[in-house]
Amino acid sequence: MATIKDIATQSKVSPATVSRVLNNDQTLSVSEDTRKRIMETAEKFNYQTIRVRKKQQDKQDESYKVGIFLCQSLEEELSDPYFLSIRQGVESECQNLGIETTEIYRIQNFQLSKVNEDLDGLIVIGKLDTEVVKLLQQKIEYFTYIDYSPNPNKYDSVVINFQDSTKTALDHLLQLGYQEIGYIGAHQAEHTKGNDKKPFDDERYTFYKQKMTGLGKYKKDHVFIGAFTMTEGYRLMKEAIANGNLPEAFFVASDPMAVGALRALQEENIQVPSDVAIVSFDDVEMAKFASCPLTTVHVPTEFMGRTGVKLLMERLGGREIPLQITIPTDFVIRESCGANA
Q: What is the pLDDT of residue 329?
A: 97
The percentage of residues in the chain with a pLDDT greater than 90, rounded to a whole number, is 62
What is residue 68's three-state secondary structure?
Answer: strand
Q: Tens digit of pLDDT for each residue in 56-66?
A: 334 334 578 99
Q: Taking 80 as the threshold, does the pLDDT of residue 245 lie above it?
A: yes
pLDDT at 61: 40
> Do the beta carbons of residue 291 and residue 335 sit within 8 Å?
no
- CA–CA dist 233, 134 (Å, integer): 36
Provide mean pLDDT across the span 232-247.
Answer: 96
Banded model confidence at residue 28, pLDDT cuts 50, 70, 90: confident
Q: Residue 51: which pLDDT band, with cuts at 50, 70 and 90?
A: low
Is the domain defined by 162-299+331-337 classed in CATH 3.40.30.10?
no
For residue 226, the tally of other CB atoms under 10 A from its CB is: 19
Give the SS3 label for residue 115: coil
Q: For residue 333, which of 169, 135, 117 has the smallest C-alpha distance?
A: 169
The rounded distance, in Å, linking the Cα atoms of 260 and 278 is 12
Average pLDDT over residues 69-84: 86
Confidence of residue 43 (pLDDT cuts 50, 70, 90): confident
Please name which of 311, 329, 328 lies closest in space to residue 319, comparing C-alpha atoms: 311
State the Cα angle at 143 between 137 and 147, rounded to 5°.
130
Do 4-53 and 63-160+301-328 have matching folds? no
pTM (global) more than 0.95: no
Reported confidence tier of residue 127, pLDDT bands at 50, 70, 90? very high
Q: Rounded distance, CA 326 to CA 304, Å?
A: 9
Asked if pLDDT for residue 205 goes beyond 70, the answer is yes
DSSP label at residue 174? H
Terminal CA-CA length for the chain: 66
Break the chain into its structural domains and give their ranges. 4-53, 63-160+301-328, 162-299+331-337
- Mean pLDDT of all residues in 10-26: 81
The architecture that CATH gives domain 4-53 is Orthogonal Bundle (1.10)
At residue 57, the pLDDT reads 39
Look at residue 1 in the predicted model and tell me its pLDDT. 60
Q: Which of 37-41, 87-91, 251-255 has the lowest mean pLDDT?
A: 37-41
> Taking the domain 63-160+301-328, which CATH number applies?
3.40.50.2300
Amino acid occupying residue 187: H
**Average pLDDT, stretch 1-22?**
82
With CA atoms as reference, report the closest residue to 85 among 254, 199, 198, 313: 254
162 vs 251: CA distance, rounded Å: 13
Q: What is the pLDDT of residue 62?
A: 53
| Per-chain mean pLDDT for the chain | 89
Strand blocks (E) in the chain? 65-70, 100-106, 121-125, 142-146, 156-160, 181-186, 188-191, 197-200, 223-226, 249-252, 277-282, 295-298, 324-327, 330-332
SS3 202: coil
Nearest CA-CA partner of 136 in 161, 167, 87, 103: 103
Strand order in the sheet with 100-106: 100-106, 65-70, 121-125, 142-146, 156-160, 324-327
pLDDT at 60: 38
Q: Is the pLDDT score of 250 beyond 60?
A: yes
Cα(141)–Cα(15) distance, rounded to whole angstroms? 9
